[in-house]
Structure formats: C-alpha cells, structure tokens
Amino acid sequence: MLIGLLLVSGAVDFIVTGCSSGQGYPKSEADRKLKDTRLLKSIRKKSQTDASAFFGQLDESIVQKILQKRDVIDYVVKYGQNDIADLIKVKMRYKI
C-alpha cells in the first residue's frame, strides 16, 4: 500500500525492492497468507480507479494503518505532485 501511495502520488518515480529467496512460507503462516491474499485481491479490485476514489473506498482500519507510517506520509505530502497530498491533508485529516 505504501509503495503504491508513493508511486501514484508522484513523490517518487520508482522503488527498488528486495528479491524473494524462492522458498515457500511455513505451514504456520498459511492462514495469515490466505487472509492477506484475499485482502490484497479486494484492494486490487478497488484500486482500478483514480487514487482519490481508491483511498475513499478503503476500510478505515487500513487508512489508519497507512497514516501511522508518518515518514512515508510526510514525504508524500511534501513531494507529491497530484491530489493525493491534498486528499491526505483534507479528507484524511492528516496533520503535519
């Protein structure tokens, strides 16, 4: 979510991420991974729209988790080049 926010806001042009080792998850993580997969599919479906509409559709608990990442949100608000920074400041009542 945070990577998408950085990219869609125009705050950054690209992000380099680490590579997977190719190994699977332990069986003890299977339930959590299934839950995460369902959540990501739901988010993906909602994200097939403009960014403002997308963030407006997110569950409040997800929005609050995003807003807790102050370093990323501060960066988006400061360097974002579209309406995402304004959306964060106004609609999400984010205080810098």
Q: What range defines the domain where residue 83 resides?
A: 1-11+43-96
Residue 7 has pLDDT above 80, yes or no: no
Residue 19 has pLDDT above 60, yes or no: no
**Where is pLDDT greater, at 47 or 18?**
47
Helix, strand or coil for residue 84?
A: helix
In angstroms, rounded to a whole number, what is the distance separating the alpha carbons of residues 1 and 66? 8
pLDDT value for 15: 66
Residue 60 forms part of a structural domain: yes
Residue 33 forms part of a structural domain: no
Q: Which residue's entry shows tokens 């964060």?
A: 88
pLDDT value for 5: 76
Q: Pick from 80, 17, 92, 81: which is nearest to 54 by CA?
A: 92
Count of structural domains within the chain: 1
Residue 58 forms part of a structural domain: yes
Instruction: Grade residue 74 by pLDDT with cuts at 50, 70 and 90.
Output: confident
Largest CA distance in the chain: 43
Residue 74 forms part of a structural domain: yes
What confidence tens digit (pLDDT) does each residue in 40-50 have? 888 777 767 77
